[in-house]
Structure 1
């Protein structure tokens, strides 16, 4: 069992969100679910809470009402090896009501923040040549979805 589990508070659409995330991340599953019963603050049969996994990481989800919406203060980074992966996660998570932001950040249609990160960025930004690293950083600051080739070209001074 994972020691620390992120818990996501949804208004009333946790089950819909879980089902969406299971289509985005192909290696996922629901571990358990519980539902509101009669006399609860939500209609009987509405998902109360669930535990689910995405690529081996366990999450909890709760339908708790509109009291605590998501903010950018918490986000989930998706590390991508290729531009195809970046494109897939970016397009899938930002589509259908999501919102693009800067520097690889987006909000999905449920308001949850994600960072779609090409793994090469860590190599570029930590290079001992501060000028090269700075060019890559400056290129990233102009982007919404991160483009690996553009970052590499900036790094190389092209």
Structure 2
């Protein structure tokens, strides 16, 4: 049976470090296997790590300094409420991570994340009502998502 896993190429030999960071900080995450790929017995090619992020299977590869992760890929981290937004935003932007617009940020390894509270999804609906559109406009002005501001926008305030 076919399956799909995300495969991330890390530039600075950080694949295992990143996998361990996610396992330590994101619920339902774990490192499942680390090995070195080889073409000849004494010639390592790259370190490979298999891990899960919130139950999603991922393969990480130390691919060399010429490769860089970018916003074309992101983990969408759905959380419950402002406390979890604040908690994960702090974890992901610490030690060299970067805040971004509209709930996006990068962690210290260069992986992009969207830290999105369920309330944003609920209040945005299908973006067709005036209340949904106000929520979208409010979100577009934010870095880290502010649930209270989203609710105020939905209510017309």
After TM superposition, the score normalised by the length of structure 1 is 0.88
Q: 1:128/1:48 Cα in 2 relative to 1: closer, same or farther (>3 Å)? A: closer
Return the offset for 1:62.
0.5
Whether the 8 Å contact between 1:98 and 1:107 is mirrored in structure 2 is yes
Shift of 1:55: 2.3
8 Å CA contact 2:127–2:133 kept in 1: the answer is no
**Cα offset for 1:40?**
3.1
Q: 1:93 and 1:13 mapped to 2: Cα distance?
A: 15
Alignment: residue pair count:
153
Change (3 A) 1:59 1:128: closer
What are the within-5 Å matches in structure 2 for residues 9-158 of structure 1?
9-11=9-11, 12-35=13-36, 38-40=42-44, 48-126=47-125, 130-158=129-157
Aligned partner of 1:6 in structure 2 is: 6
Secondary structure of 1:49's aligned partner: strand
- 3-state SS of paired residue (2:145): coil
Once residues 65 and 2 of structure 2 are traced to their aligned partners in structure 1, the CA distance between those partners, rounded to angstroms, is 28
State the alpha-carbon separation in 1 of the partners of residues 14 and 2 from structure 2. 25
Tell me the SS of whatever aligns to 2:89: helix
Tell me, which stretches of 5 or more residues in structure 1 are unaligned? Answer: 42-46
Q: Distance in 1 between matches of 2:2 and 2:67?
A: 25
Please tell me whether the aligned partners of residues 19 and 30 of structure 2 are also in contact (alpha carbons under 8 angstroms). Answer: no
**C-alpha distance after superposition, 1:77-131 (max 9, x if no partner):** 0001111111111110011100001000001111110000011212211267622
Query: Aligned partners of 1:2, 1:147: CA distance in 2, in Å?
Result: 39
2 CA distance for matches of 1:68 and 1:125? 36
Q: Which has the higher strand share?
A: 2
Partner of 1:44: none
Q: CA RMSD in A?
A: 2.0
SS of 2:51 mapped into structure 1 = strand
